[in-house]
Amino acid sequence: MAAARRALDAPGAPWATASPAERADAMERFAAAIEARADELGRLVTRQNGMPIAMSPLARCR
């Protein structure tokens, strides 16, 4: 976490110098990437929690 914080706060760091529109675009791309892999991520989280997929709320999100 400390390395991530230093990278964010470093002079000229891309996120620190990005405009609000650039940040919003980056977050939209990130959200789209997560949505595109929602089924896979749901299975992984369910497995991580040790829950049968049929009982997972994530399995019923779509």
| CA 5 vs CA 21, 23, 31, 34: distances in Å | 22, 17, 22, 23
What is the C-alpha separation between 34 and 41, in angstroms, rounded?
8
Domain assignment present for residue 55? The answer is yes
Domain assignment present for residue 32? The answer is yes
pLDDT at 41 over 80: yes
Domain assignment present for residue 9? The answer is no
Q: Please give the residue range of the domain that contains residue 51.
A: 20-62
pTM of the model: 0.62
5-25 pLDDT, tens digit each: 887 888 888 888 889 999 999
The more confident residue out of 47 and 32 is 32
21-37 pLDDT, tens digit each: 999 999 999 999 999 99
The alpha carbon of 32 is separated from its chain's Cα centroid by a whole number of angstroms, namely 9
Domain assignment present for residue 8? The answer is no
